[in-house]
């Protein structure tokens, strides 16, 4: 049986995944156009989004937590723009 993860822990993990995407080393040969680099960045950002996307739909979620989710989703989109474009 899968272990339940609290919403606050999900938010922390999502932030760490976004930071990991930013910290992913740029390949020397192709730079940011290396397909494995692009896939790695997109995978980390997808994992971050997947962790938190259902939090606002829960009944016991506070407005502050919903705002945190929105902020993290925006940070993931911004990281995608900053890293890959």
How far is Cα 71 from Cα 30, in angstroms, rounded to an integer?
32
Residue 81 φ/ψ, nearest 5 degrees: -65, -45
Q: Is residue 35 part of a domain?
A: yes
Burial of 34 (0-12, 13-18, 19+ CB in 10 A): middle
Taking the model in full, what pTM does it have? 0.90
How far is Cα 59 from Cα 10, in angstroms, rounded to an integer?
16
Angle, helices 35-52 vs 63-84, to 10°: value is 170
Q: Is residue 1 part of a domain?
A: no
Residue 46 lies in domain: 7-84
- For the chain, the domain total comes to 1
**pLDDT tens figures, 4-25:** 788 889 999 999 999 999 999 9
Structure tokens at 44: 């980390």
Report the pLDDT averaged over residues 41-54: 96
Q: Is residue 2 part of a domain?
A: no
Q: Is residue 18 part of a domain?
A: yes
């Amino acid at each position: 049986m899968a272990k339940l993860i609290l919403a606050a822990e999900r938010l922390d993990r999502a932030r760490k995944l976004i930071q990991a995407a930013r910290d992913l080393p740029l390949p020397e040969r192709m730079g940011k156009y290396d397909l494995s680099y692009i896939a790695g960045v997109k995978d980390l950002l997808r994992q971050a989004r997947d962790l938190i996307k259902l939090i606002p739909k829960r009944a016991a979620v506070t407005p502050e937590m919903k705002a945190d989710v929105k902020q993290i989703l925006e940070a993931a989109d911004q990281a995608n723009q900053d890293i890959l474009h």
